[in-house]
Amino acid sequence: MRAMLGAVLAVVVASGAAAQESLGELLRRGETLAAQKRLDDAERVGRETVRRFPKSRDARLALARVVLWRGRYAEAARRFAELLRSNSGDAEARLGAAQAAYWSGDYRLAARELAEVLRLQPSNAEAARALAEIRTASRAGFVVDAGIVDDDQPFRAVGMTARVFAFSDPLTKWEVSARQERLRGRGLERSAPAIGAAGETALPRWRTSVRGGLTRLRFPDGSARLLPLLRTETRLGTTVLAFAAARRELLRSAASLATHPFADALSVRWSAARFALHAERLRYFDHNRGMSADGYVLMPVTRALSLGASAAVRDTDQSRFAKGTYDPYWTPLAQREARLVGSATFRRNGATFGLHADAGAARDRVTGSFHPWRAGANATIPAAHGLTINIAAERSSTAFYTSNEIRASVAGRF
Q: Could you read off the pLDDT of 109-137 as tens digits, one per residue?
A: 999 999 999 999 999 999 999 999 999 99
Pair (32, 72) in one structural domain: yes
pLDDT of 232-262, one tens digit each?
999 998 999 999 999 999 886 666 677 888 9
Pair (348, 370) in one structural domain: yes
Containing H/E element for 130?
helix 125-137
**Whole-angstrom distance, CA of residue 30 vs CA of residue 47:** 10
Pair (83, 208) in one structural domain: no
Q: If you average pLDDT over residues 291-314, what whole number do you get?
A: 97
Q: What is the pLDDT at residue 221?
A: 85
Global pTM value: 0.84
Higher confidence at residue 217 or residue 189? Answer: 217
* Nearest Cα residue to 248 out of 236, 270, 231: 231
| Share above pLDDT 90 across residues of the chain, in percent, rounded to a whole number | 79
Pair (124, 149) in one structural domain: no
With beta carbons less than 8 A apart as the criterion, state whether 250 and 230 touch: no
Phi, psi of 368 (to 5 degrees): 80, -155
Pair (218, 257) in one structural domain: yes
For residue 2, pLDDT over 60 is answered with no
Return the biggest CA–CA distance within the chain.
96
Pair (308, 383) in one structural domain: yes
For residue 69, pLDDT over 50 is answered with yes
Pair (51, 159) in one structural domain: no
Last residue of a domain, one of 84, 119, 137: 137
Q: What is the pLDDT at residue 4?
A: 53
Query: Who contacts 149 (Cβ-Cβ below 8 Å, separation ≥6)?
Result: 156, 157, 252, 403, 404, 405
Last residue of a domain, one of 137, 165, 183: 137
Of 88-102, 209-223, 256-270, give the lowest mean pLDDT range.
Answer: 256-270
**Whole-angstrom distance, CA of residue 313 vs CA of residue 363:** 10
Output the average pLDDT for the chain: 91
Cα torsion for 65, 66, 68, 70, to the nearest 10°? 170
Please tell me the total count of domains within the chain.
2
pLDDT of 314-341, one tens digit each?
999 999 887 777 888 889 999 999 999 9
Last residue of a domain, one of 137, 170, 193: 137
In the chain, what is the straight-line distance between the N-terminal and C-terminal CA atoms, in Å?
73
pLDDT of 376-395, one tens digit each?
999 999 999 999 999 999 99
Q: What is the pLDDT at residue 369?
A: 93
The range of the structural domain enclosing residue 128 comes to 2-137
Pair (184, 88) in one structural domain: no
Q: If you average pLDDT over residues 82-86, what whole number do you get?
A: 95
Q: What is the pLDDT at residue 12?
A: 43
pLDDT of 41-54, one tens digit each?
999 999 999 999 99
- CATH number, domain of 49, equals 1.25.40.10
Pair (165, 216) in one structural domain: yes
Pair (295, 176) in one structural domain: yes
For residue 187, pLDDT over 90 is answered with no
Q: What is the pLDDT at residue 9?
A: 45
Higher confidence at residue 185 or residue 279? Answer: 279
Q: If you average pLDDT over residues 210-236, what whole number do you get?
A: 95
**Whole-angstrom distance, CA of residue 176 vs CA of residue 199:** 9
Pair (181, 90) in one structural domain: no
Pair (358, 345) in one structural domain: yes
With beta carbons less than 8 A apart as the criterion, state whether 218 and 212 touch: no
Amino acid found at 194: A
- CATH number, domain of 284, equals 2.40.160
Angle at 149 between CA 147 and CA 155, to 5 degrees: 130
For residue 10, pLDDT over 70 is answered with no
Angle at 322 between CA 320 and CA 323, to 5 degrees: 160
